[in-house]
């Protein structure tokens, strides 16, 4: 008997799951050298960007904080230092990343999960911060809707990210950085050239900041605004949940 054809939606879902699993395994592999590479590649400027993002988060209403796509807990560490009275959860799909970062923010609850299907009840958090991880989520729209769902009324969502560049200077920098610098230096430090080639491609293929802001509005966020850092190399976007 001839088997029935696989519906297109199931085929897409299967492909996305395979892609997500592959990306998760990749991040597990590069976890041991991830922090070192970040410092080398950015000359430490990424630390200042993270601190600025956390300052934006401080205006969130009282309540728990979620570090989404937390990686090795760089942002969790800063949140823990600047907002010591807040309950803190760090969520990422790479268990290895979370484990390696556990000493940076010992009081943070670490949760391995998918950003498109968060295991938290509605309105669980007063604030969410995400640093350099949203572009690795296969469906940005689903991630935005989940972030909106788990935020309480008046909650704040802060995103620090490498968005697709719009200005000529930012495009030129991203082009050189993505095609040559990131894969080469990444390979030298970690031995994982293909992994850092993927990260470079993810920077080039992601949304522009303005397109991401539209995604957040469509997900139900209000007062969405953003600004660029260092000639548009990175950007911060802030979005609110109506009170």
Angle at 95 between CA 91 and CA 100, to 5 degrees: 95
CATH classification (class only), 11-166+196-240: alpha beta
The Cα–Cα gap between 77 and 51 comes to 10
| Highest mean pLDDT, choosing among 18-32, 112-126, 132-146, 177-191 | 112-126
DSSP three-state, residue 113? coil
In the chain, % of residues over pLDDT 90: 56
Residue-wise pLDDT for 30-61, tens only, equals 666 666 666 555 556 888 999 999 999 999 99
Return all residues near 134 (Cβ < 8 A) that are at least 6 apart: 68, 69, 115, 140, 143, 159, 161, 212
Give pTM, 2 decimals. 0.81
The Cα–Cα gap between 125 and 135 comes to 22
């Amino acid at each position: 008997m001839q088997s029935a054809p696989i519906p297109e939606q199931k085929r897409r879902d299967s492909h996305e799951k395979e892609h997500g699993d592959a990306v998760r395994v990749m991040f597990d592999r590069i976890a041991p050298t991830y922090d070192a590479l970040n410092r080398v590649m950015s000359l430490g400027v990424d630390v200042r960007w993270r601190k600025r993002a956390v300052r934006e988060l401080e205006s969130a209403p009282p309540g728990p904080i979620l570090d989404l796509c937390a990686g090795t807990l760089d942002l969790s560490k800063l949140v823990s230092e600047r907002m010591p009275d807040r309950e803190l959860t760090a969520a990422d799909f790479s268990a290895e990343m979370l484990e390696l970062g556990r000493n940076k923010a010992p009081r943070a609850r670490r949760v391995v999960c998918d950003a498109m299907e968060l295991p938290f009840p509605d309105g669980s958090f007063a604030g969410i911060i995400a640093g350099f991880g949203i572009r690795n989520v296969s469906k940005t729209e689903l991630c935005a809707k989940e972030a909106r769902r788990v935020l309480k009324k008046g909650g704040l969502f802060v995103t620090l990210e490498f968005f697709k560049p719009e200005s000529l200077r930012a495009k030129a920098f991203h082009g050189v950085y993505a095609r040559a610098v990131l894969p080469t230096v990444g390979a030298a430090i970690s031995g994982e050239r293909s992994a850092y080639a993927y990260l470079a491609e993810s920077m080039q293929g992601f949304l522009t900041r303005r397109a991401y802001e539209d995604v957040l509005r469509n997900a139900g966020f209000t007062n969405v605004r953003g600004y660029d850092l260092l000639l548009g190399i990175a950007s911060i976007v802030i979005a609110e949940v109506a009170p």
